[in-house]
Amino acid sequence: MTQRQLAIVLIILTLVGFIIGSTYAIYDQELIKGSTDIYPTWYGAKHFWEDGLSPYDDRVGEASQQAIYGRPATATEDEVRFVYPLYFIFYFGPLGFLSFELAASIFMEILLLLMGATLALSLYTLRWLPKPLTLGISILYTLVSYFSVRGLLLGQPAFLAFGLHIGAYWAIAHRHDRAAGILLALSTIKPQTGYLIVPLLLLWAWQNDRRSIVYSFGSMFGALLGVSWILLPSWFGEWMERVFHYSSYVANFPTTHIISHLILPEQLGDIAQALLSIFILVPVAHFWWRAIVLRDSQSLLWGLMLTMAASLLISPRVATTSYVELNPVVYVALMFLEKRRLWGWLSVGTIAFMVAYWILHIATVPEEVGREAPIVYVVFPTIIYLWLLVQQSAWKDVDILKAAHGN
């Protein structure tokens, strides 16, 4: 056995050991008690496959509340109902047949590994091999930032959508167009993070002679919807009912709402929110007009990240766990700092930012269990959006379409 083969074997054994060990640690430490976001999916999947019970049935929500609160949810608590498209239970697969403790442990482990994979895939898409210090800081941010830890402990499915988006960006950069379309279709389990990105990318693909992306998206998305309707013909109406009911018990608002209603009365605040949302979308529209109409796809990743930041700022319902969608912006910022040899900003600055966000949450956390203060929603996407606008010229060197082909 050569040294290279031995190294590969050791890496595989180490990875397997880490997976087994960390899954056991999650299970043994009962961290799954906090994974409330995945309980209705597990319960809904289990009883859908075993008993034919719709995951949107009231009994699923009631059982979830009993398991999490030990009683029905109060008016100020999350009703923990299943509010995803029916096909999300397909992703959950055989985990629905396991005990919740074991299923949640495995699912949390999958999310943990997925976060590591998104970092690796992002770096590969950028064609950037960071120096050891930068790589260490990148790993630390990916796994220990406030948004990552909160999402991992909750068992938040938004991480799956994030991983699928990153996979689609990589596939687009490397012209694996069929894979890109399939990944975009699979990412629709979390519409509130992809409602701008997905249709705009499909329009871009159609206009830029990348139509295999559109065809494969249509085929996969059609299959997901078709199988869902075959298994549960009433699922779409039931899902819509759950989605519209969701706002009655989840008290979070888009950043534009929070900012515009700080000092203005309700009606004026609503007008200001609409105007602010339009203002935020103007640079996004300008980029995609160039990319789609003029076929100028330079800085595609910048446009994708600006669009994602804008969608998180204006989305009617968004959770801070979805802010991991902006991780590639952090990686590019670290890349800029490394190239300029600003090691202090790179290391101390990144760590200070992570600690500061944890402090911000702890200092402002409301009395209601599981809630977050409005300022926690506002700060991060606002900073990212403004930084992207200011640094647009610097991102011209971050051309993932050219980088992937060595041009």
Residue 5 falls inside a structural domain:
no
Per-residue model confidence as pLDDT tens digits over 230-277: 999 999 999 999 888 776 666 667 889 888 888 788 788 889 999 999
Residue 21: the pLDDT is: 58
Neighbours of 21 (CB within 10 A): 10
| Angle, in degrees to the nearest 10, between helices 300-314 and 158-173 | 160
Rg (CA), the chain: 22
Q: Show the domain range for 88.
A: 35-403
Identity of the amino acid at 134: T
Both structure tokens of 50: 């075993």
Residue 331 falls inside a structural domain:
yes
Separation between Cα atoms, residue 39 and residue 44, nearest integer Å? 8
Separation between Cα atoms, residue 356 and residue 315, nearest integer Å? 25
Q: Is the pLDDT of residue 24 over 80?
A: no
Residue 89 falls inside a structural domain:
yes
Mean pLDDT of 169-198: 95
Residue 224 falls inside a structural domain:
yes
Residue 8 falls inside a structural domain:
no
Neighbours of 195 (CB within 10 A): 14
User: What φ, ψ does residue 205 adopt, rounded to 5°?
Assistant: -65, -40
Per-residue model confidence as pLDDT tens digits over 293-349: 998 888 899 999 999 999 999 988 778 999 999 999 999 999 999 999 998 889 999
**Which of 243, 175, 174 shows the shortest CA–CA distance to 211?**
175
Rounded to two decimals, what is the model's pTM? 0.91
Mean pLDDT of 89-98: 89
Identity of the amino acid at 158: A
**Which of 321, 295, 322, 326 shows the shortest CA–CA distance to 309?**
326
Comparing 54 with 297, which gets the higher pLDDT? 54
Residue 29 falls inside a structural domain:
no
The Cβ-side half-sphere exposure at 89, using a 13 Å CA radius, reads 28
Residue 28 falls inside a structural domain:
no
Q: Tokens 């770096």 map to which residue? A: 123
Separation between Cα atoms, residue 80 and residue 76, nearest integer Å? 12
Percent of the chain surpassing pLDDT 90 = 56
Separation between Cα atoms, residue 390 and residue 380, nearest integer Å? 15
Both structure tokens of 367: 């009395």
For 392, the 3-state DSSP assignment is: coil
Residue 18 falls inside a structural domain:
no
90-127: buried (b, 16+ CB within 10 Å) or exposed (e) per residue? ebbeebbeeebeebbbbbbbbbbbbbeebbebbbebbe
Structural domains in the chain (count): 1
Interacting residues of 8 by C-beta distance below 8 A, sequence separation 6+: none
CA distances from 404 to 129, 169, 217, 338 (A): 14, 11, 22, 21
